[in-house]
Amino acid sequence: MVIAKPEWFKKKKGFFSFEMTWQGTLYLIATVSLIFIGMMLPQNMLISLPIIGLFLFLFFDMIYASLQSMDERERSHYSIAMRNAAWGMIITMIIVTTILSSFNGIKDNLGVLIMITAFVGAIINFSTRYKLEKES
Amino acid sequence: MTQEELAEAVDVTRQTIIALEQGRYNPSLILAYNVTKALQKRYIEDVFALDEID
């Protein structure tokens, strides 16, 4: 944790009711907006690399701060969800890469591969946490 | 003491307290100790019990 503070992402109630403070909301908006800024700017390595680096830094900083705001039960749920999501993303990457390479190659569709993998990871993460939260 | 107050005292969510009460979550030793202290009991066994020991 370098910038974000755990109390910005403090979860007070159930699974859906995050009570994020304005600092947390601002931090989330700033992080997500970097994706759109990166997409809008010309595709140049000199411009893209610092934006990708900044995005990754803010993203992992936010994840770390969010983890600090969780209690031990939520943290164990999160760990299980991340493990499932990682496996799902690996399998998705293998399948999508195989499909893309058999058609027109992955070089032109790298963005599609990343988007699909991230989407599958997010869905698996969310559904695992939802299931665990319902069970306990 | 309400669930909300206990949750705040031991710095966990109310859902965790509910899960503890219903026996659906096994707390860490630190959490068990903190809950025992918050409930002003002397021993962890006064609050938690092991149903089975393998």
Q: Which residues of B touch A12 (CB under 8 A)?
A: 13
Q: Which residues of A touch B15 (CB under 8 A)?
A: 13-14, 73, 133, 136
Give the distance from residue A74's alpha carbon to the nearest chain B alpha carbon, in angstroms.
8
Give CA separation, B39 vs A13, A98, B34, B48, in Å.
22, 58, 9, 12
- Between residues A20 and A102, which one has the greater pLDDT? A102
Picking from A13, A72, A135, the nearest residue to B28 by CB comes out as A72
Looking at residue B38, what is its pLDDT? 93
Domain count, chain A: 2
Looking at residue A45, what is its pLDDT? 75
Domain count, chain B: 1
- Containing domain of residue A88, as a range? 71-136
Looking at residue B30, what is its pLDDT? 93
Q: A 12-71 residues with CB below 8 A of B?
A: 12-14, 71
- List A18's β-bridge partners, or say none: A11
- Yes or no, beta carbons of B24 and A13 under 8 Å apart: no
Examine the domain organization and report whether A97 and A134 are in the same domain: yes
Looking at residue A50, what is its pLDDT? 87
Q: Mean pLDDT lowest for which of A8-17, A63-72, B11-20, B42-51? A: A8-17
d(CA B16, CA B21): 9
What is the pLDDT of chain A when averaged over all its residues?
83
Written as one string, the DSSP assignment of A19-43 is ---HHHHHHHHHHHHHHHHHHHS--
Is some CB atom of chain B closer than 8 A to the CB atom of A74? Answer: yes
Reading chain B (54 residues) residue by residue, the pLDDT tens digits are: 888 899 989 989 888 999 899 888 889 999 999 999 999 998 888 888 877 655
Residues 6+ apart with CB under 8 A from A72: B12, B16, B27, B28, B31
Burial class (CB in 10 A: 0-12, 13-18, 19+), A97: middle
d(CA A129, CA A15): 8
- List A11's β-bridge partners, or say none: A18
Q: Mean pLDDT lowest for which of A17-21, A39-43, A79-83? A: A17-21
Residue type, A12: K
Residues 6+ apart with CB under 8 A from A11: A17, A18, A19, A69, A70, A74, B13
Examine the domain organization and report whether A28 and A65 are in the same domain: yes
Examine the domain organization and report whether A107 and A126 are in the same domain: yes
Q: Tell me whether residue B30 is in a domain.
A: yes
d(CA A129, CA A28): 20
Residue at which a domain ends, from A51, A69, A87: A69
d(CA A103, CA A112): 14
The C-alpha R_g of chain A, in whole angstroms, comes to: 17
Is some CB atom of chain B closer than 8 A to the CB atom of A83? Answer: no
A23 contacts A6 by C-beta, under 8 angstroms: no
Nearest CA in chain A to B21: A136
- pTM value? 0.71
Give the distance from residue A19's alpha carbon to the nearest chain B alpha carbon, in angstroms.
12
d(CA B12, CA A62): 20
Q: What is the dihedral of CA A76, A130, A133, A17, to 10 degrees?
A: 100
- Yes or no, beta carbons of B13 and A12 under 8 Å apart: yes
ipTM: 0.80
- Containing domain of residue B41, as a range? 3-45
